[in-house]
């Protein structure tokens, strides 16, 4: 488990963040496919003979999917989207309740047969939740373990049943799948297991529930398993020991030593007497819990064992892991057989009928023949070997004296996924991102629309990046990561509001030439267009001229607020900021209550408010207000070239927007030259005197003159002027920011020179 910062989880982040972040996750593919590795599998068999069986898959893309299984088909019938980080495990519990856990530190419950609506979010873990276990016959009992060293035991039926009818939400607003207070506790019977066996009371006064709590394991927990009756729970992790507990009381019953590395997989037989463990030491061990000892060690794998599954009789075990191999081992005879080899490490296994589903770090799921009902049939094919009792590096004996050959070459069925993005580069225009996926395809994304604008196929990423280089300088208004297998675009205030472009640069028609567009503001309008339409339908009114009013929200914490005066307060979305409804992005964010949540932008119903969204986001979209921004201006000096006959037109420092084009500076110089006695109105301090015709300038502070919008287009008049910086002639289309970044290259104020172009 890689310790990487969660996409949406900010409660455990060590990086201080005053304001909540808004993230949107882009999707280029069919929503019926996963776009990252598959961490977990769960099978729900139909209670009726000819009904559909279902396979549930949980992915590193943060979603779960339900697949309706036929003999040679698997149809995605629902996507369960609410987690904001990797889904690490899932089990079916209770009355058709799907329980999932995630690196976002939460457990979530879902109705197995629903359209994917989250019914409850359970918040108790302090770190990534890595594993779940449930009891077959007492299926309301679910255990969860995580990197925080905690193991919690949940009564799912109690967790889903509110015990109070007060106005305070006990947990999720189920209609939104958005959790309640970040400090809230689920109304559930809860016990925490401790390696020290001490049990303490944990109170949550806000909701009146007093669960039994205890300190967890000393170190991280990676594996859990429970017997059918729910009377035994076994856990393992980085402590390298197998711990056995009574889940009914939270008391420790035994501790078994033998493995030399992390325990990554556990499996109990139905009676609870025998336990199998798989470890990063590459060994599989069979334990007799009654005798409290290890019966056998199986040296089958060449690397970490990450997944175990057994036949119903517990006579044979299927195992997979980091060595990309799936083995079948007879626990009694120690005979082992290589069933297949994969291209990716195996993360989890699920037996179904006479086959086995295999989940790997790839986004596809494969079904392989397994002869689950009669595994001896596979051994009759030959090619087996005896599993030794030492690690593979020291001993391994093949019955046929050769390296094992896989029994099966191809899976019987594949549920395809979408290749995950593994490399990205933000281009200088700050609107395009170049990506490369696991299949080697290189694509160009326009993040303000959430679409792929160019698919280059399998080309060199570095060469394409160099070819797309532009000499432009635009502030970094967003950040990107690909942890979920797709592009996650992060917006943090106030940095995200630092980038502006002219409407003409974005090909937006019907706007004044010097109309400035704030990229983050327009992107937020595009993302929340559906929400805003639904909200106005619900309110039954249009926004007033002074902006929308948020009822019942707190006052803004910032004292410096800017009204975006260059844009009309409307909800019109410009074409460069229109997001697709066919492949809509998902939003990950949080408001003043309830923790982080995730939803498709088209699933927002208009009821969300500042309890769900960051206030700065709503203030921008509804009230057209932006936080105070830094570094939107560029200061510079404008001087004649050395030896030029033109007199100095200005004596002070000038200031203009960073995006101002050099041709505007040329216009200014030309108009100053053609003015009669241009310097008569300037006093010795360099401040423009009241009697001076303003022309293309407006008065600012002493010695500081600002360009104002409304400059005329570059006129074709004599004299013709060119602008230089560091003796380099500048293109009229360059911005001041670009000149400073690529030509001036100094921390001091920019110095521009002007001269007359001879012969024109």
Q: Can you list the domains of the chain with their CATH numbers?
A: 421-627 (no CATH), 633-756 (3.10.20.90)
DSSP 535: H
* Per-position b or e across 170-180, b if 16+ CB within 10 A of its CB: bbbbeebbbbb
Going by pLDDT thresholds of 50, 70 and 90, the confidence category of residue 140 is confident
Per-residue model confidence (pLDDT) at position 461: 98
Across the chain, mean pLDDT equals: 82
> 497: closest CA among 554, 541, 425, 558?
558
Q: Are 318 and 327 in contact (CB under 8 A)?
A: yes
Are 396 and 299 in contact, with CB atoms under 8 Å apart?
yes
pLDDT higher than 60, residue 18: yes
DSSP class of residue 703 equals: T
Rounded to an integer, what distance in angstroms lies between the CA atom of residue 173 and that of residue 594? 9
The pTM of the full predicted model, rounded to 2 decimals, is: 0.85
Lowest-confidence range among 326-330, 587-591, 677-681?
A: 677-681
CB proximity list for 747: less than 8 A, separation 6 or greater: none
Residue 449 DSSP label: T
pLDDT at 711 over 70: no
Residue 393 CA to residue 296 CA, distance in Å, equals 18
pLDDT of residue 162: 62
Sorted by sequence, the CB contacts under 8 Å of residue 652 that are 6+ apart come out as 685, 686, 687, 702, 703, 704, 705
If pLDDT is split at 50, 70 and 90, which confidence band does 21 have?
Answer: very high
Looking at residue 402, its pLDDT comes to 61
Mean of pLDDT values over 692-716: 39
Which tokens is 584 given? 């809509």
| Residue reference for tokens 């910032």 | 558
Could you tell me the two tokens for 458? Answer: 């399998």
Both structure tokens of 21: 């972040």
Q: Which of 71-80, 160-169, 368-377, 404-413 has the least mean pLDDT? A: 160-169
Other Cβ atoms within 10 Å of 341 Cβ, number: 15
Distance, CA of 27 to CA of 583 (rounded, Å)? 6
pLDDT at 145: 92
User: For a pLDDT cut of 70, what percent of the chain falls above it?
Assistant: 78
Phi and psi for 618 in degrees, rounded to 5? -65, -40
Q: Are 150 and 103 in contact (CB under 8 A)?
A: no
Average pLDDT, stretch 181-202?
40
Q: Radius of gyration over alpha carbons of the chain, in Å?
A: 32
Q: What is the pLDDT of residue 430?
A: 97
CA 371 vs CA 310, 351, 375, 449, 569: distances in Å: 11, 10, 5, 49, 66
């Amino acid at each position: 488990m890689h310790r990487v910062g969660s996409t949406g989880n900010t409660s455990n982040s060590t990086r201080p963040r005053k304001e909540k972040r808004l993230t949107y996750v882009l999707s280029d593919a069919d929503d019926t496919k996963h776009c990252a590795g598959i961490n977990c599998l769960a099978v729900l068999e139909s209670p009726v003979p000819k009904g559909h069986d279902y396979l549930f898959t949980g992915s590193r893309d943060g979603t779960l999917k339900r697949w309706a299984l036929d003999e040679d088909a698997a149809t995605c019938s629902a996507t369960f989207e609410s987690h904001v980080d990797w889904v690490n495990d899932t089990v079916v519990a209770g009355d058709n309740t799907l329980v999932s856990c995630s690196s976002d530190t939460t457990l979530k419950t879902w109705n197995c047969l629903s359209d994917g609506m989250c019914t409850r979010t359970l918040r108790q873990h302090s770190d990534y939740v890595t594993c779940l276990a449930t009891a077959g016959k007492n299926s309301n009992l679910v255990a969860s373990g995580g990197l925080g060293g905690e193991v919690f035991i949940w009564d799912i039926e109690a967790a889903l049943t509110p015990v109070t009818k007060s106005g305070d939400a006990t947990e999720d607003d189920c209609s939104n799948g958005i959790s309640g207070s970040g400090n809230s506790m689920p109304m559930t019977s809860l016990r925490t297991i401790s390696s020290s066996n001490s049990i303490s009371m944990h109170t949550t006064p806000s909701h009146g529930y007093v669960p039994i709590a205890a300190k967890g394991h000393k170190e991280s927990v990676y594996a859990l398993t429970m017997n059918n009756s729910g009377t035994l729970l076994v856990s393992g992790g980085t402590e390298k020991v197998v711990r056995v507990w009574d889940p009914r009381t939270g008391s420790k019953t035994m501790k078994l030593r033998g493995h030399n590395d992390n325990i990554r997989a556990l499996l109990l037989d139905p009676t609870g007497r025998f336990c199998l463990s798989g470890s990063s030491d590459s060994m599989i061990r069979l334990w007799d819990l009654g005798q409290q000892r290890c019966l056998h060690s199986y040296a089958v794998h060449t690397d970490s064992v990450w997944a175990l599954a057994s036949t119903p009789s517990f006579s044979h075990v299927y195992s997979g892991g980091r060595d990309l191999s799936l083995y079948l081992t007879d626990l009694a005879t120690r005979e082992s057989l290589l069933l297949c080899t994969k291209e990716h490490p195996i993360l989890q296994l699920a037996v179904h009928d006479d086959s086995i589903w295999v989940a790997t770090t790839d986004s596809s799921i494969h079904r392989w023949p397994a002869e689950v009902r009669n595994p001896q049939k596979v051994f009759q094919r030959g090619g087996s070997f005896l599993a030794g009792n030492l690690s593979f590096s020291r001993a391994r004996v093949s019955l046929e004296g050769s390296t094992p050959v896989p029994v099966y070459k191809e899976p019987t069925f594949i549920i395809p996924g979408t290749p995950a993005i593994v490399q990205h580069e933000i281009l200088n225009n700050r609107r395009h991102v170049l990506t490369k996926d696991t299949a080697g395809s290189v694509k160009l994304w326009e993040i303000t629309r959430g679409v792929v604008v160019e698919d280059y196929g399998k080309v060199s990423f570095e060469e394409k990046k160099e070819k797309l280089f532009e000499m432009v300088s635009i502030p970094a208004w967003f950040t990107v990561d690909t942890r979920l297998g797709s592009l996650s675009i992060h917006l943090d205030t106030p940095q995200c509001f630092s980038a502006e472009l002219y409407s003409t640069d974005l090909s937006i028609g019907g706007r004044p030439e010097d109309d400035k567009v704030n990229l983050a503001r327009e992107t937020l309008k595009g993302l929340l267009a559906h929400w805003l339409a639904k909200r106005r339908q619900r309110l039954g009114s249009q926004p007033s001229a002074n902006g929308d009013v948020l009822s019942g929200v707190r006052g803004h914490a910032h004292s410096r607020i800017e009204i975006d005066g260059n844009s009309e307060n409307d909800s019109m979305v410009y074409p460069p900021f229109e997001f697709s409804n066919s492949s809509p992005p998902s939003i990950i964010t949080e408001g003043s209550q309830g923790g982080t949540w995730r939803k498709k932008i088209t699933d927002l119903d208009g009821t969300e408010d500042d309890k769900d969204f960051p206030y700065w986001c709503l203030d921008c979209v509804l009230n057209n207000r932006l936080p105070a921004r830094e570094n939107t201006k560029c200061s510079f000096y404008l001087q004649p070239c050395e030896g030029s006959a033109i007199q100095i037109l200005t004596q002070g420092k000038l200031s203009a927007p960073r995006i101002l084009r050099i041709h505007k500076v040329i216009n200014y110089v030309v108009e100053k030259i053609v003015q009669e006695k241009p310097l008569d109105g300037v006093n010795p301090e360099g401040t423009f005197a009241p009697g001076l015709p303003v022309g293309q300038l407006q008065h600012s502070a002493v010695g500081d003159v600002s360009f104002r919008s409304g400059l005329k287009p570059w006129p074709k008049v004599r004299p013709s002027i060119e602008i230089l910086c560091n003796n380099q002639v500048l293109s009229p289309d360059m911005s001041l920011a670009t000149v400073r970044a690529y030509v001036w290259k100094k921390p001091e104020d920019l110095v521009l020179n002007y001269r007359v172009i001879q012969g024109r």
